[in-house]
Structures are given as C-alpha cells and as structure tokens.
Copies of this chain bind each other. A is one copy, B any other.
Amino acid sequence: MTIKVGVIGTGNIGADHVTRLSSQVVGSTVTAVFDVDTARAEQVAASAGAVARGSALEVIDDPGVDAVVIASPGDLHAEQVLACIAAQKPVLCEKPLATTATDCLKVIEAEVATGRRWIQVGFMRRYDPGYKVVKDAVDDGTIGEALLAHMIHRNAVVPDSFTSPMAMTDSVVHEIDVTRWLFGQEIVRTTVVPTKPSPLAAAHVRDPQIVLLELAGGGVVTVEVFVNCQYGYDVRCEVVGSTGVVTLDNPSANVLVRHGRRAQTVPADWRVRFGATYLTELQEWITGLRSGVVGGPSAWDGYAATAVAECAVASLDSGAPVPVGLVERPGLYV
C-alpha cells in the first residue's frame, strides 16, 4: 500500500519533504501540494509528479490525498490541522502545532473528540540516532538517575526577520521537547536569564540567551541558544545522572590534519546535521500509516512545547521565572 501525501507549504523544509516522500521514503508518493507562491508550488509539484492545488483546504480535501504534511507558516498550523482532523486524514505538522497554547488546546479538543490520534508533531530529534543513545542511557539506568542536563543550540546566522522571542518558539522549542522526552516529565517553570548580546547579532535581537527549564521532578536543564555564533550549526546535549553522564555532540568519523590543526567539521546548518533524521521521521510516519498507526510526538507534546515556549517568551520580557500551567492531560495521550 502506498500512502498518497499532500504537502502544504513548499518552502525549504516543505520542498525537502516532497523530495523525501516522493523519492526516498518507501511506501509514499506525493500527489498534491499547495503554496501561496504558486510558481514555487508548480515547480515542486512537477518535480514529484504531483498536482499544485489552489489552497491548503483543497489539498486536505483532495480524495487523492491519504495523509497531509503541514510545512506552512506557524500561524496557519492550527486551522490546517483542524481541517485535517475534520477530513479524518493523518497529519504530520511541523512545529509549532499552533503559535499559542490556547490554539493548541483547540486542536487537542478536536482530536480528543474523535477518540483517536491523527496528529504527529515534527519534533524530529526524537528520531536522531545520537539522541536515541542519550534516551536509552537515561531510560535503562546506564547513568543512574537522570538529575539535570545542559543543552546548546547554536546557528551560524539568522535572517533579519528573526526576533528574540523566535529564539524560544523556533529554536529552544526543540530543547523543550527533547527535555520533556528525555526525562519523561513536564516542565513546570522556565526562566530566561538576561545576558550580554553578541555585537554580531542584529540590534533588535537578544542573542545569545540562557534558558532554565525546571522539571516536575525537580531537575533543571540549562539551555544556551545562540543564533549568530558564526561558526556553524552546533547542537549538543549532556545529561548528568547520579552515576554517570551521557553526551551528544556533532557526529563525526573524519579528522582533517592541516596547518597545525587536527579538525573535525561542524555542520553548516540543520539540513546537514538533521537531514537523515528528517528522513527517518518521515519513513517511520509512513510505515506507521501503512499499518494504520499514528505515533510519534503527539498533539499533547505540541501543546506542552508551545506552552513552555510561551512562558519562556514571557520570562524574556519580564526577566522573572514564569511557571508553566498545563491543563490535565487527556487520556488519549497517556
């Protein structure tokens, strides 16, 4: 059985997903796409033997579409996901599930009303082999009891359109999800610690920033986000347990020795670092759908991540710790 996928949004990540689903994932084709940039949509559609539709809804309601990938701007996600639920079509929604916790709850309410899961949220790091090693070491007691963690999330540069809150909602949101997943606990409080901005960051952007994530079980995770670090894309993680430590660094097999230096390459960007991870994510999504199963990060995970990121933005403004108040978790997500 081949899953016919419709893709909404054909920007960088959407176009990559179209390529993967049409030519690298087993068991899927792409049949329909939509983008507000019609020419772009036509081009991407042509590359995959798909049809460009006139709207997101047309993609969702297309009888030739079995499942939907949403890679549109974040503020459109909630409405599009709700449409997928209404159409009873499984949907892989890039983060965020919605830009506000309130909107996330509307999505959750709609999904819960159907009595089953339709939504997977695109927190792809859970599919990365390196993160899986960390997760296993935490789960199987290799490091004793996990107590705290340190995470780093650096990008070489960001466009001028990037804002200080986006460091929370677009960047740290990954660490928020990773934290919840690794520890198996909710985040109960978050603090953004004011720090000195880089002279190479845009004047309107606080960068770098340090964020503290406090867990229900008492542990604390420190996150450094630095989106203008200049040198590359550098995502790292160190979980500290009661008897040992497990770390994740950039994967590497090669060393180049020249000019007095033994050097390993730092990935240029997230497409280099996590390209294969996205492919695993999509393959597992499609493999699941072929068996009638929706798994992976749920709408609840999307809601929790958005709620914590919202608190981080509030803390960024106030300078004070902000408690995270989540609703009770519906049974569907337990």
- Mark A residues whose CB is within 8 Å of B: 23-26, 129-130, 133-134, 137, 142-145, 147-148, 150, 152, 193-200, 208, 210, 212, 214-215, 217-220, 222, 224, 226, 228-232, 234, 240, 242-266, 268
Contact = CB atoms under 8 A, between A and B. Distances in A.
Given A264-B261, A266-B257, A199 B242 contact: yes
B265 A200 contact: no
A136 to B, nearest CB: 10
Contact of A230 (B196, B243, B256, B261): B243
Contact of A261 (B145, B214, B220, B263): B263
Contact of A148 (B195, B218, B240, B248): B195
Given A219-B195, A243-B231, A253 B254 contact: no
Nearest to A251: B253
In the A-B complex, the 9 residue pairs with the closest CB atoms: A196-B218, A244-B258, A130-B253, A251-B253, A261-B263, A263-B263, A245-B257, A195-B220, A196-B219
Contacts of A134: 254
Contacts of A240: 208, 224, 226, 229
A152 to B, nearest CB: 8
22 contacts: A24-B26, A26-B26, A137-B256, A147-B226, A148-B224, A150-B224, A193-B220, A195-B218, A195-B220, A196-B218, A196-B220, A222-B222, A226-B240, A228-B242, A230-B242, A231-B244, A244-B258, A246-B255, A248-B253, A261-B264, A262-B263, A263-B263
A249 B255 contact: yes
Contacts of A258: 142-143, 230-231, 243-245
Q: Kindly report how many copies of this chain are found in the complex they form together.
A: 4
Given A144-B198, A247-B257, 12 more contacts: A26-B26, A142-B258, A150-B224, A194-B220, A196-B219, A196-B220, A198-B242, A224-B240, A231-B260, A234-B257, A257-B266, A263-B263
A98 to B, nearest CB: 30
B144 A200 contact: yes
A200 to B, nearest CB: 5
A220 B219 CA distance: 21
Contact of A145 (B198, B232, B248, B268): B198
**Max count, chain B CB within 10 A of own CB: residue among A133, A152, A208, A261:** A261
A147 B260 contact: no
